[in-house]
Structure formats: structure tokens, C-alpha cells
Chain A
Amino acid sequence: MERSIQFTLNRRPVQLKTDDERTLLWVLRTDLGMTGVKYGCGENHCGACTIIVDGRSVRSCMVPVKFVEGKEVMTIEGLAENGQLHPLQKAFMEHGAVQCGFCTPGMILKAYSILAENRQPSREEIIKSMDGELCRCGTYNRIIDAVQAAAGEMKGGTHHE
């Protein structure tokens, strides 16, 4: 149904008029210009489209735009605040947890949601929580290192409470 939908996107209110059944991924990428949200499969297999909705990770290819009505949405574009990179972003850079970079936004946001629930995840816990996130370039081990390093960095809990 074509109607007006409101939600918060990267700390700013947005309002758009569109068919509320449209897939959130394409609305974010096309209508709202958030091209950091990636299409990798469109069918819940890869995690490239991962975003944060009310603090939890959501695969934006799997939900209609009406799902986020009234909620707080964060894409990779909203993770750095006031020009300050998030510890996860810094750790991904420092640990070389990036190659082509196509999986990177989804990986970082998935990790963000994991750290919100578990401040010091073990290697095994990270593998278990992230096993559905695909990286064809094979950066997995470095992502694990980066997530653990960021967790250490965030221990004080100062960033993004």
C-alpha cells in the first residue's frame, strides 16, 4: 500500500511515501541513498545487507519497509559519529579485516550487534554468531581478531552506549 512512513535513519528523522511492502534494502539503497547497505543475495544467505534496527541486527533484504516504522535504523553510514570512527571500524582497518570491502558494512554491523549483547565474546562465540555472514575474499580470521580488539577497546563502555 502506498503511504507515508516515518522512522529514524542514522539519528535523523525520515519520512517517505512509498509502497509499504517494498523491501527495506532497496528503499534504503535507492530512495534514501544509503548505498553502504549491500545487496549480496536478497535471500537471507549472506548478511551483506545487515543493518541495525533498535539496536539489533536485521537483514534488510528480508523485511518490508513498514517493519521499521517508528523505529531507529542505523546503516554503516551512521556508525561513525562526529567524524570519529567507531572502534569496530578502526579495528577492521588496523587488523586488515577488509579486502574488496563488499561484505564489510554487513560484517561491522553484525559485530556491533554482537558486542551489544556480549562485551567480550570468545573466538568460538564470534564464529557461532557470525557463521551466516559470508566473505568471499576470506577475511574471516582477521574479522575475528578485529572484533575482539574492538571489544577490548570498548570495555569502558564509553562509545555508543
Chain B
Amino acid sequence: MSEYGTPIQRREFMKLLGSGIYILFSTGPFLYGQQRGFQFRQYPEDFNAYLRIGEDGSVACYTGKIEMGQGIITSLAQMLAEELEVPFTSVRMIMGDTKLCPWDSGTNGSRTTKIFGPVLRAAGAEAREVLIQLAAEHLQLPENRLIAVDGEVRDKTDASRKVGYGFLAGGKSIERHLENKPPLKDADDFKVCGQSSPRTDFEEKVTGSARFAGDMRLAGMLYGKVLRPPAHGAKLIVVDTAAAQKIANVKIVQDGDFIGVVHPLPDMAEKAVGLINAEYEIPDNTVNDKTIHELLLNTEARDSEERKGDLEQGRNIAVQEFDAAYFTPYVAHAPLETHSALADVKGDSATVWVGTQRPFGADSQVAQAIGLNSDNVRIITPYVGGGFGGKSQIGQAVQAARLSKMAGSPVQVVWSREEEFFYDTFMPAAAVKINSGIDASNRIVFWDYHVFFAGNRSYECIYNVPHVRTASRGSSFGGGGPHPFGTGAWRGPGSNTNIFARESHIDVMAAKVGIDPLEFRLQNLTDERMIRVVKAAADRFGWESGKAPTGRGCGMVCLDYLGTYVVAMAKVRVDSKSGSIQVDRIVHAQDMGPVINPEGARMQIEGAVIMGLGYCLSEEVHFSGGTIMDLDFGSYKIPRFSRAPKRIETVLVENHAIDPSGCGEPPIVGMGALIANAVFDATGIRMNRLPITPERLKPRLT
């Protein structure tokens, strides 16, 4: 763990590279992150990009992925150890350093295990086979007599004839690749994966030695703050820095609208920026959190649609039709660590420590902002204090780099909580309209689905419906259009809205025809894998059949998020006087294929469930035009201890028939419908708008 999370000085860096072995290179170190010649960036094929075996047998694993709490620092090490046949404890992770690590598109979309996992495992498997070849030559034994175990290659029949990976790798500088790549292990043969390995980042995190970007220190560094406009789209008219200039040791820099202060102390930089007087022209924009959905529904934007069957025919055979609209608000990421970066710009190169989900991408963005070649910008990602999609944006690193360039010193920028809320790229407010119908035997016969501004992830109808249209208007990323500020990926982008709408609507239909919501789903599902997960959840929950509203306060949801299947069930209590909702119990069944680290998966699921209760019950960004009203945790209410359900039970549905799939996003995306359906079962009131606050629910309870 030594270099992870710690600034690596040039000398140490060379030392680090010099100490390993390079099974493959015949000449000197090869810096994969620096290979920019490719037209398309993709994972390098050479396994040396992902691992180095030191002379002492220790293994360094390199990845462009980053650790932000999801636990891949441990699960990736498990995957490499599994295929390479080394002890898990011998693997050290080096993550998110664009100079040392192979390119990666970013840590998002619950894709680490599913997409990057096989790449890393293949590297480990090939390295293992090359090591066996090298061992065969060294021991003068045929390869088929050898076996790789625990970081060494042994004679199967005489365990005393063996050679360690460290020795093999350390002694050679030969290039060797395998023509025929070895297959990945079958999940049934896993020894390291599938075990709840202890998290390797925890000790640093409980002792305070874990470093986040704001904890990085360099000699001579300054702390920077940039003047923030009062509203998005505001134009600077006049500025007066006279009062700020009076602070001892302050330096004020300006480049057009970009006005910053730097100071040897962070609190003084903050104080100085507060003393700048500025006048802005704020654009006339009256849209607010109450009117935004109307605007979304009436804004032209790019459409896409998919069709199956013939909607008209479906409408003709339907005996009952259902029409409804569903609305979700802007939601903040609000990681506990605000966006932070330390930039050291020197001449035509820069090193930037930044809490980011996209080190590759941050490099070119920083380079562009300060007029450098991106080859000369090195991004180093220490531990990230929560991301949830919001740390794919690196505005703070651009600020730090610009300030560093102008001030001629390393500059650290740590956003205040207020800046964090202001500059956040929120989960976009969105709307869904659904028109559907069932036949006399309660089968859904048509499904006409229109989502506005959430995007199309998880918008498919997972039920067996013959006549379907699924249409999406407007994308969920980038802001612009009807959005007065930036929007972006938020843990399960688009899906939180789409699944809220679909799974609420399924319950609306079930209730109308008086069928238990679970039975109604089973009648309309044909996907055997999903049915198995439904049964697993129902078994654990002890689901009692009944026609909603039963008064019990039970609800369910099923979903497929990029190949991971989830069925969740909840029991809630609604206080009829105040309209407040307490979630007592959640059972969450998830089939994500073979699970790499079961305890890690449970932690992700529980965390997602609790985080999800925020946007279900209390979180919503209030705004007026480009002015954000919620700029602190006093008015923007994220879940607290008292919000957490007493019981969150996770069922990891075993499935070795598919490849390992994503874990961290699937458990959050169903939360809206899960809670809305349970509230309906408790009260008979259908809430089509999130969050379900006491203010919204109470007036309808009488």
C-alpha cells in the first residue's frame, strides 16, 4: 500500500519502477498510461501493464480504476491473486495514476467487476502460464508436470522441486506472450474470489492515515479559492478586491472572469475570497423546482424509440387501460469529501492529485485548461471520499491547475460544502409517462413508455408484453436545454427514474385489478432467472399474498440493471398524523453472478439502500433559475442514523452460470418504487413524485 494515496516523488517513482521485474520488457520501464498514440483508447493487451512481480515475490497491481468506498481495492486484488496463483496478501494496488497505470475509461456504471475484471484476470492468467514456462526451463521439467501455487511453481509429484515467482521474474528480462491465451477460471474453482477477504484500505481509514486529495501536502504549497458566482449563468459586471488585498500574504490572481486568491493557509484564503466584492448580472430564468417538470415535458429534444409488436393491436385487445405520469427531482451527490485537488504546475508539465472517478480524462481536461500537452499532465488519484458519479467532474482540479500556473506554486483547492452543492452536476429532474393495458386474464398486452430527460438506462419493460413502445427524449447528461445548471451521472444514471416509474406502474395495475403485486409480476414475467430472484426475496421476507392496500405497509420491486438482477421488499410505517415514513425492514435479493467478495457486496448493498432512502424520502434540490437554494446539509437532508432501517437483509443469489456482474449501483435504483409501493400498501395513497416528504404525503392522508 505504500505508494497508494501518497505523493510519489520523482526519485521514489523511479525506484518503484526499478524494483520490480518486467517479464516482458527487454528494455527499461514502459509507461502504459503514457501511451497516447492510439486512435481509440482501450485496455492494453500486454499483461505487464497490469502487474509487476518484485524480486521478493510481491505483486503490484496497476489499474486506472479508483477506490471511493466501493471496495475494489480489495476485490480487484482478489481477482488478480486468483488467476495469478499468488496469496491475496501479496498483492498491492496502485490505482488511478495516469503515469503508472493502464488507461481506463473511469470508475462508474458498476463496471469494474463486469468489464475490467475479465481484463485483469486474463492478465493474471497469462502471466501465470508464462511463469510456468519459465519455471519449466529453469527446473528442466516438462510444463505439464508443473503447477503454480501460492506464488511459486512446483513439481506436481515432488513439491521440493520448486521456484518462486520472484526469482523467475527477477532474473529475466525476456519478452514473452502466449499465442493462445489461457481461459479464465471457472467460478466453481475459485479459491480467493468468493471469499470475504478483509478490506485492505480499512486500517488506514480507521487510523486517519488514509490520504485524500485534500490531505496532500507539498513544500511551498498554497491554498486557493476561486470567486463563485451567485447563480449559474451569472455574468460578472464589476469586482473590487481592495479589502481582500489587505490580508497579509494573500495573492490575488485574475484571468477574465476567473478570480482567485491563494494564501499559505486555507482558512485565510477562504476569508480573503469572502472579502471580494463583486456584482453580477443574473439571467432572467424563472424555472424552479415546482415548474421544472412542466418545462421538461414541453421541451423539444432528441428522441429515440424502440418498438415491438403493434401498439394499436395491443390497445384493441386491452380490457383496461392505465395512464400515469411519474416525476423525480434534481438530486445532489453530496459526497462527504468535497471535491479536492492539489496541482503542481511547473513549466510545461503538471502533476495533479485529485479525487476523481476519471483520472484518464482529467489529464486532458487539465491540460486543455492550462495549455499543456496532456502527455505532460500526470493525474494521481488518492483515496476518494465518495463519488457516486459526481466525481467524474473535476472542476476543482482545473481551478487548482489554473491557480498553480498563475501563482507559480503548488496550489490546493478544497471546495467548501457550499461550492460542492453549487457546482454539483445533479441527477437530472425527469418525468415519465406510461400508458398501458391488460387483457381479461390480467396479462399486460401493451406498454407505451415515454421518459423525458432521464435517458434510456433501465427503461426496458422487463415483463413479457407483446406490444411495446419505449421512447426517450432528452439525455440525462451534461445539463443545458431545460436545465439551468449542470446535470450528470448519479449512482445508476437514468435508472433511478425509469425503475421508479415502471415498478410503480406495475403496482398501480395490480392494485386496480385486485391482485397481489407479487402474483401480478409472476403472471407477467417469463425470465426464469428473474423469477428465481423473486422467489429468493419472497422466501426471506415471508411475503404474504394480499390485495394492496393491505395496511401492512409492504412493497416490492424487481429490476435488471445492466445484467444484475434485483428484487427488493420493504416494510414501512406511515405516521398518519405527521405523514412521516419509517422503513422498518428491507430484504434485498441480488443476482450478480459469482460474487467476488460477499461481505464487500453486502456492504455496498446496505449502503446503497440507505443512500437511496434519501432521494425517496427527503432529498430534492430547491432552486430558482440558476440560483441553488440548498447549499448546506441543514436544508438538503441526506439520510441520518435515525433514517436507516433497523433491518436490512441481503440475499446474494448464487449463480455461476453467468460472469461476475456489477454490484454497487443495482441496489439503489429500485428504491423509489420500493418505498412508493410500500407506502401505497400502508395507506392506499399512490405517490407519483419523489421524494415522498411528509409535506407531500400528509395533506393526502385525510
Interfacial residues, chain A to chain B (CB-CB below 8 A): 22-23, 26, 29-31, 33-43, 45-46, 48, 75-77, 79-80, 85, 89, 92-93, 96, 98-105, 108, 123, 126-128, 130-144
Q: Which 6 A-B pairs have the closest CB atoms?
A: A36-B208, A100-B69, A138-B610, A101-B205, A102-B385, A99-B69
The interface residues of chain B lying within 8 Å CB-to-CB of A36 are 207-209
The interface residues of chain A lying within 8 Å CB-to-CB of B191 are none
Contact across chains for B206 and A85 when beta carbons are under 8 A apart? yes
Q: In this complex, what residue of B is CB-closest to A96?
A: B603
Q: How far is the CA of A22 from the CA of B202 in the complex (A)?
A: 32
The interface residues of chain B lying within 8 Å CB-to-CB of A104 are 205-206
Contact across chains for A99 and B71 when beta carbons are under 8 A apart? yes
Least Cβ–Cβ distance between B423 and chain A, in angstroms: 15
* Cross-chain contact of A99 among B204, B215, B607 (Cβ < 8 A): B607
Stretch from B115-123, B294-302, B638-646 that touches the partner: B638-646
* Cross-chain contact of B336 among A43, A132, A134 (Cβ < 8 A): A134
* Cross-chain contact of B417 among A22, A40, A100, A102 (Cβ < 8 A): A40
Known: A26-B267, A39-B214. 13 other contacts (CB 8 A): A34-B208, A35-B208, A36-B209, A93-B202, A93-B203, A96-B599, A98-B201, A99-B604, A101-B206, A132-B640, A134-B640, A137-B607, A140-B639
The interface residues of chain B lying within 8 Å CB-to-CB of A43 are 417, 632, 634
Q: How far is the CA of A141 from the CA of B588 in the complex (A)?
A: 15
Contact across chains for A42 and B634 when beta carbons are under 8 A apart? no
The interface residues of chain A lying within 8 Å CB-to-CB of B133 are none
Q: In this complex, what residue of B is CB-closest to A22?
A: B267
Q: How far is the CA of A100 from the CA of B71 in the complex (A)?
A: 8
The interface residues of chain A lying within 8 Å CB-to-CB of B648 are 141
Least Cβ–Cβ distance between B295 and chain A, in angstroms: 29
* Cross-chain contact of B206 among A40, A98, A127, A142 (Cβ < 8 A): A98
* Cross-chain contact of A141 among B71, B267, B335, B606 (Cβ < 8 A): B606
Contact across chains for B644 and A140 when beta carbons are under 8 A apart? yes
Q: How far is the CA of A62 from the CA of B385 in the complex (A)?
A: 22
Known contacts A100-B386, A101-B383, A102-B335; A45 and B633 CB within 8 A of each other: yes
User: Residues of B within 8 Å of A, CB-based: how many?
Assistant: 62
Q: Is residue B338 within 8 Å, beta carbon to beta carbon, of the partner chain?
A: yes
Across the A-B interface, how many residue pairs have beta carbons closer than 8 Å? 172
Interfacial residues, chain B to chain A (CB-CB below 8 A): 68-71, 198-199, 201-212, 214-215, 217, 223, 265-267, 334-338, 383-386, 388, 414, 416-417, 599-600, 602-604, 606-611, 632-634, 638-646, 648
Q: In this complex, what residue of B is CB-closest to A129?
A: B641
The interface residues of chain B lying within 8 Å CB-to-CB of A76 are 206-208
Known contacts A35-B215, A137-B69, A137-B611; A98 and B338 CB within 8 A of each other: no
Q: In this complex, what residue of B is CB-closest to A2?
A: B248
Least Cβ–Cβ distance between A106 and chain B, in angstroms: 9
The interface residues of chain B lying within 8 Å CB-to-CB of A85 are 203, 206-207
Q: Is the interface of A mostly helix, strand, loop or mixed?
A: loop
Known contacts A23-B267, A136-B638; A75 and B336 CB within 8 A of each other: no
The interface residues of chain B lying within 8 Å CB-to-CB of A128 are 642
* Cross-chain contact of B607 among A38, A126, A139 (Cβ < 8 A): A139
Least Cβ–Cβ distance between B441 and chain A, in angstroms: 42
Contact across chains for A102 and B212 when beta carbons are under 8 A apart? yes
Q: How far is the CA of A138 from the CA of B568 in the complex (A)?
A: 17
Least Cβ–Cβ distance between A128 and chain B, in angstroms: 8
Q: In this complex, what residue of A is CB-closest to B668?
A: A138
The interface residues of chain B lying within 8 Å CB-to-CB of A138 are 606-611, 639, 644
The interface residues of chain A lying within 8 Å CB-to-CB of B207 are 36, 76-77, 79-80, 85, 89
Q: In this complex, what residue of B is CB-closest to A41?
A: B417
The interface residues of chain B lying within 8 Å CB-to-CB of A38 are 336-337, 385
Q: In this complex, what residue of A is CB-closest to B611?
A: A138
Contact across chains for B206 and A26 when beta carbons are under 8 A apart? no
Least Cβ–Cβ distance between A57 and chain B, in angstroms: 15
* Cross-chain contact of B641 among A31, A45, A130, A137 (Cβ < 8 A): A130
Least Cβ–Cβ distance between B125 and chain A, in angstroms: 30
Contact across chains for A131 and B641 when beta carbons are under 8 A apart? yes
The interface residues of chain B lying within 8 Å CB-to-CB of A45 are 417, 632-634
Contact across chains for B641 and A93 when beta carbons are under 8 A apart? no
The interface residues of chain B lying within 8 Å CB-to-CB of A33 are 217
Q: How far is the CA of A35 from the CA of B353 in the complex (A)?
A: 15
The interface residues of chain B lying within 8 Å CB-to-CB of A96 are 199, 599-600, 602-603
Contact across chains for B206 and A102 when beta carbons are under 8 A apart? no
The interface residues of chain A lying within 8 Å CB-to-CB of B203 are 85, 93
Least Cβ–Cβ distance between B520 and chain A, in angstroms: 30
Contact across chains for B202 and A92 when beta carbons are under 8 A apart? yes
Least Cβ–Cβ distance between A38 and chain B, in angstroms: 7
Q: How far is the CA of A126 from the CA of B634 in the complex (A)?
A: 21
Least Cβ–Cβ distance between A77 and chain B, in angstroms: 5
Q: In this complex, what residue of B is CB-closest to A126?
A: B641
Contact across chains for A131 and B642 when beta carbons are under 8 A apart? yes
Least Cβ–Cβ distance between B170 and chain A, in angstroms: 32
Q: How far is the CA of A40 from the CA of B414 in the complex (A)?
A: 10
Q: In this complex, what residue of A is CB-closest to B609?
A: A138
Q: How far is the CA of A100 from the CA of B638 in the complex (A)?
A: 16
Q: How far is the CA of A41 from the CA of B608 in the complex (A)?
A: 22
Contact across chains for B632 and A39 when beta carbons are under 8 A apart? no
The interface residues of chain B lying within 8 Å CB-to-CB of A30 are 223, 265-267
Q: In this complex, what residue of A is CB-closest to B208?
A: A36
The interface residues of chain A lying within 8 Å CB-to-CB of B646 are 123, 141
Least Cβ–Cβ distance between B528 and chain A, in angstroms: 32
7 A-B contacts (beta carbon < 8 Å): A26-B267, A38-B385, A75-B208, A77-B208, A96-B199, A101-B202, A140-B641
